[in-house]
């Protein structure tokens, strides 16, 4: 199993960024995919979940209305479109895969750093 994130970087407050995660080594279309972030020196924060065909999605209150998760089951990829970025969104963002058909996290990518600063 491999999860490879890309798209992180430095962005100004109010800006946008799209993260990508290329997945391989498992049945992608049957897996729940989540994004989890971790601010420097802080704990883990689940932020979004995409299930199956991608029409069922969930968000943490902290990002609802600003972030959009999507997936491409043909190309085994999941995306996180981030808008209205705030300084407090600065974190390492991990792409993760659910265990079996469930939502416990079995695999984590290496993470991509997002820094929101002027």
Partner 1 sequence: DIQMTQSPSSLSASEGDRVTITCRASQDIANFVAWYQQRPGKVPELLIYAASTLHSGVPSRFSGSGSGTDFTLTISSLQPEDVATYYCQRYKSAPLTFGGGTRVEIK
Interacting residue ranges for partner 1, rule: CB under 8 A: 34, 36, 43-46, 49, 58-61, 94, 99, 102-106, 108-111
* 15 or 38: CB nearest partner 1: 38
> Least separation, in Å, of the C-beta of 46 and partner 1?
4
* 76 or 96: CB nearest partner 1: 96
> Least separation, in Å, of the C-beta of 109 and partner 1?
8
Burial class (CB in 10 A: 0-12, 13-18, 19+), 39: middle
Nearest to 50 by CA among 59, 41, 61, 40: 59
Give residue for tokens 């981030």: 82
* 55 or 74: CB nearest partner 1: 55
> Least separation, in Å, of the C-beta of 65 and partner 1?
15
Rounded distance, CA 41 to CA 68, Å? 26
DSSP annotation of 99: S
């Amino acid at each position: 199993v491999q999860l490879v994130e890309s798209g992180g970087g430095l962005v100004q407050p109010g800006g946008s960024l799209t993260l990508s995660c290329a997945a391989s080594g498992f049945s992608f279309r049957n897996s729940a995919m989540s994004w989890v972030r971790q601010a420097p020196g802080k704990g883990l924060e689940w932020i979004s979940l995409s299930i199956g065909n991608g029409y069922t999605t969930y968000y943490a209150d902290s990002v609802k209305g600003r972030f959009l998760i999507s997936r491409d089951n043909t190309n085994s990829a999941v995306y996180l479109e981030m808008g209205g970025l705030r300084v407090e969104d600065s974190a390492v963002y991990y792409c993760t895969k659910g265990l079996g058909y469930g939502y416990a996290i079995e695999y984590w990518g290496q993470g991509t750093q997002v820094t929101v600063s002027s």
